[in-house]
Amino acid sequence: MAAVARNSSQAFPGIDAIRYEGPTTKNMLAFRHYDASELVEGVPMRDHLRFAVSYWHSFRGTGSDPFGAPTMLRPWETRGDTLEGALNRVEVAFEFMEKLGVGFYCFHDRDVAPEGKTLAESNRHLDAVAASLKLHQERTGIQLLWGTANLFSNPRYVHGAATSCNAEVFAYAAAQVKKALEVTLALGGKGYTFWGGREGYQCLWNTDMKREMDHLARFMHMAVAYAKEIGFTGQFYFEPKPREPTKHQYDFDCATCINFLRANGLEQHVKMNIETNHATLAGHEMQHELEYAGMQGFLGSIDANTGDPLVGWDTDQFPTNIYLTTQVMYTILKYGGLIPGGINFDAKVRRESFEPVDLFHAHIGGMDAFARGLKIAAAMRADGGIQKLLDDRYASWSSPLGRRIDSGTENFHTLEKEMLAKGDSEPCTSGRQELFENLINTYI
Ligand code: XLS
Ligand code: NI
Ligand code: NI
């Protein structure tokens, strides 16, 4: 294939590069808050946020659901799931990402290239598309935030991949991830993500859970070993999700994943890729998952989306809620940012939003929501009011007794002696939840 000097794609005619025009603009195809070069805490917004487009949702999503046919109008999709179609789609994707002004994208192997009749043919397809992706990355400077392998769509993965009851399926999945790692490396990918896919169960009666989880650990060790062998130094991520498609996914939530990593000696190699809608499916707030991973050094990258409070499923909607993005960015800043991770829009336009321009509205809204969250979080940190309230709440831990407990010099005997002498503990002070919440609203 000849070098790509410039993109000839015209999938989005009439839409120019999206620019920052400030909060008062009337142009809905402009950023009101995301100004890539604006410094926040001394760092340009683009480096705080590291936005990525998900190839699967934005370029493979059809709008079909269990009740209805595809709805998406995608005039460039004239060649079906062929190599030719895949190569054309690369041009479209890069036209979109360039116009949007994002620095990163993410893909599964089968998003970018069609599965062939054999593994070898699938690998050839992937190589051909990767060559084009590479040229477009070089032309635009857009980088691969992370790669992954689709180990769940093909019927061979009906019982899972690394956790399949079929050893040959495990072997096939290993071969697929081996190739995906090679391609991720060739494209300079900053990371590689394991999301469970169908690694879980529908029924415990037919499931040997211990065996399946041991196999998952063995699989991840093989990936880590192969990455080392080929010189892939990107960050591995594990993406928690409690259910869907199985009723119980082994990567349930951050607590489950981190325990799995530690129990299997993988904690030095893998961090979390945390998705908002998966957090809520697990019965957690996104802030909880970020905090839980962050406090233990496992905060890697995030999949930005949101669920619908009235739909209890993984609806993968674009995030527009400023309160949510404030919570997310406050916690991310607290733990020192995401690099080498980023903010991947693992989100899809609604099937009712079927025109190409809706892809722009969706991403612009998400990017602006995160930019506002970032600015609000930075203002909260600069002001220090929240931190002050939090410090006050734990002030007793700065007393001589608190310091002695924390330094490990106390035990049940000494503490009993102290309390027997005092008769009772000091009265507690108010938790001031409403004050905290009101103060947060003063920044928003
Ligand atoms: C599905 C997951 C998936 C991963 C990548 O729910 O979010 O999209 O991010 O395999
Ligand atoms: Ni995801
Ligand atoms: Ni999801």
Distance, CA of 74 to CA of 59 (rounded, Å): 9
Amino acid in the structure at residue 80: G
Q: Is the CB of 182 under 6 A from ligand 1?
A: no
User: Which residue in this structure is represented by tokens 């949101």?
Assistant: 306
Helices (runs of H) and strands (runs of E) counted in the chain: 16, 12
Is 392 designated active site?
no
Task: Please tell me the distance between residue 30's alpha carbon and the centre of ligand 1 in angstroms.
Answer: 28
Q: What angle do CA 133, 139, 144 make, to 5 degrees?
A: 45
| 4, pLDDT greater than 60 | no
Q: Is the CB of 109 under 6 A from ligand 1?
A: no
Q: Which of 291, 281, 280 is nearest to 255 (CA)?
A: 291
End-to-end, the C-alpha distance of the chain in Å comes to 51
- Structural domains in the chain plus CATH codes: 39-383 (3.20.20.150), 386-443 (no CATH)
Q: Out of 108, 136, 215, 278, pick the active-site residue.
A: 108
State the closest ligand 1 atom to the C-alpha of 57, by its place in the atom list counted from 1.
8
Amino acid in the structure at residue 325: T
Q: Which of 241, 250, 280 to mutate to test the pocket of ligand 1 (most atoms within 8 A of CB)?
A: 241
Task: Please tell me the distance between residue 219's alpha carbon and the centre of ligand 1 in angstroms.
Answer: 18
Q: Which of 148, 195, 301 to mutate to test the pocket of ligand 1 (most atoms within 8 A of CB)?
A: 195
Distance, CA of 353 to CA of 63 (rounded, Å): 9
Is 111 designated active site?
yes
Distance, CA of 329 to CA of 372 (rounded, Å): 9
Task: Please tell me the distance between residue 23's alpha carbon and the centre of ligand 2 in angstroms.
Answer: 30
State the closest ligand 1 atom to the C-alpha of 152, by its place in the atom list counted from 1.
10
Q: Is the CB of 111 under 6 A from ligand 1?
A: no
Share of the chain above pLDDT 90, in %: 97
| 285, pLDDT greater than 90 | yes
- Kindly state the average pLDDT of the residues 279-304: 98
Torsion of CA 218, 223, 229, 231, to 10 degrees: -150
Q: Out of 109, 111, 251, 316, pick the active-site residue.
A: 111
pLDDT, tens digit, 9 for 90 and up, residues 68-99: 999 999 999 999 999 999 999 999 999 999 99
Indicate which residue's Cα is closest to atom 8 of ligand 1.
346
Q: What share of the chain is helix, strand, coil (3-state, %, to 5)?
A: 45, 10, 40
State the closest ligand 1 atom to the C-alpha of 108, by its place in the atom list counted from 1.
10
Amino acid in the structure at residue 426: E
Helix (H, G, I), strand (E, B) or coil at 94: helix
Helix (H, G, I), strand (E, B) or coil at 146: strand
Q: Is the CB of 35 under 6 A from ligand 1?
A: no
Mean residue pLDDT across the chain: 97
Q: Is the CB of 314 under 6 A from ligand 1?
A: yes
Cα distances from 123 to residues 63, 203, 219, 307, in angstroms, run 28, 34, 20, 35
pLDDT, tens digit, 9 for 90 and up, residues 93-135: 999 999 999 999 999 999 999 999 999 999 999 999 999 999 9
Task: Please tell me the distance between residue 39's alpha carbon and the centre of ligand 1 in angstroms.
Answer: 31
Contacts of 77 (CB under 8 A, 6+ apart): 85, 89
pLDDT, tens digit, 9 for 90 and up, residues 25-44: 999 999 999 999 999 999 99
Distance, CA of 444 to CA of 442 (rounded, Å): 6
Q: Is the CB of 303 under 6 A from ligand 1?
A: yes
Q: Is the CB of 239 under 6 A from ligand 1?
A: yes
Indicate which residue's Cα is closest to atom 10 of ligand 1.
195
pLDDT, tens digit, 9 for 90 and up, residues 317-370: 999 999 999 999 999 999 999 999 999 999 999 999 999 999 999 999 999 999
Strands 200-201 and 235-239: unpaired
Q: 300, 271 in Cβ contact below 8 A?
A: yes
Helix (H, G, I), strand (E, B) or coil at 108: strand
Spell out the SS3 assignment of 280-341.
Answer: HHCCCCHHHHHHHHHCCCCEEEEECCECECCECCCCCECCCCHHHHHHHHHHHHHCCCCCCC
Q: Which of 105, 148, 239, 253 to mutate to test the pocket of ligand 1 (most atoms within 8 A of CB)?
A: 239
Q: 274, 193 in Cβ contact below 8 A?
A: no
- Kindly state the average pLDDT of the residues 213-240: 98
Task: Please tell me the distance between residue 332's alpha carbon and the centre of ligand 3 in angstroms.
Answer: 20
Q: What is the pLDDT of residue 130?
A: 98
Share of the chain above pLDDT 70, in %: 99
